[in-house]
Amino acid sequence: MTDSRAAASPAPRRPSTSKPTGRPAHAQQAPWFVRAPNGLVRWLLAKGAPMGPNVAMTVVGRTSGQPRTFPVAVSPIDGRRYVIGAYGDVNWTRNLRAAGEATIRQGGSDLHVTAHELTPSEARTFYAEQLPGYIAHFPALGRVFGRLLFGAVAPEILHDPERAAATRPVFELRER
């Protein structure tokens, strides 16, 4: 008996079209306690379960050319949708930057979007002015959770907009 997976040829690799960002080149990833439930969260989101600002985002991988789906939080601020690379320039941010587009699934519906990465100046303004105003509108428990999470893994998001802009990419998602 043969294993059909072994017989299948691997997908052709596409060269990366990622633009240099000035961010640290070393690989970054979300902390284990964020990654651990990703499979369950991804499944729940695919089934249309409401999970606050979290959506399933699908982006074509920059080297594999294969669709990659992962949970992210989309922040609606002033009539626009933003997604933050809160854990740095991780795989999904590099894939989104290279692809320039994605599909987000929320409440059982798919929405095709283009992704515009904010410039360092735009990102500084976002972290200094827009994000604090957005967080201030959360219910008390949401504000506490946000401050605890960001305080533990990315304190610059709350306290140092300049550093956050340099290390935490922000994308505006625009409907196609």
Domain at 43, CATH number: 2.30.110.10
- Residue 86 falls within a domain, yes or no? yes
Please state, for a pLDDT cut of 90, what percent of the chain lies above it: 47
What CA–CA distance (Å, rounded) separates 113 from 155?
Answer: 29
| pLDDT exceeds 90 at position 13 | no
Concatenated DSSP letters of 125-140 = HIIIIIHHHHHHTS-H
Which SS3 state, helix, strand or coil, does residue 6 take? Answer: helix
| pLDDT exceeds 50 at position 1 | no
Total number of domains in the chain: 1
- Residue 17 falls within a domain, yes or no? no
Q: pLDDT confidence of 45, banded at 50, 70, 90?
A: low
Q: pLDDT confidence of 162, banded at 50, 70, 90?
A: very high
pLDDT at 109: 87
- The lowest-confidence range among 16-20, 27-31, 91-95, 131-135 is 16-20
pLDDT at 29: 62
For residue 146, what are the domain limits?
A: 23-175
- Residue 142 falls within a domain, yes or no? yes
- Residue 117 falls within a domain, yes or no? yes
CA angle 62, 105, 44 (to 5 degrees): 105
Q: pLDDT confidence of 152, banded at 50, 70, 90?
A: confident
- Residue 6 falls within a domain, yes or no? no
Q: Which residues contact 12 (CB under 8 A, 6 or more apart)?
A: 65
Q: pLDDT confidence of 171, banded at 50, 70, 90?
A: very high
Q: pLDDT confidence of 86, banded at 50, 70, 90?
A: confident
- Residue 5 falls within a domain, yes or no? no
| pLDDT exceeds 70 at position 32 | no
- Residue 7 falls within a domain, yes or no? no
Q: Which helix (H) or strand (E) holds 94?
A: helix 91-99
| pLDDT exceeds 90 at position 31 | no
How much is the pTM?
Answer: 0.73
For residues 156-168, average pLDDT:
93
Which SS3 state, helix, strand or coil, does residue 90 take? Answer: coil
- Residue 14 falls within a domain, yes or no? no
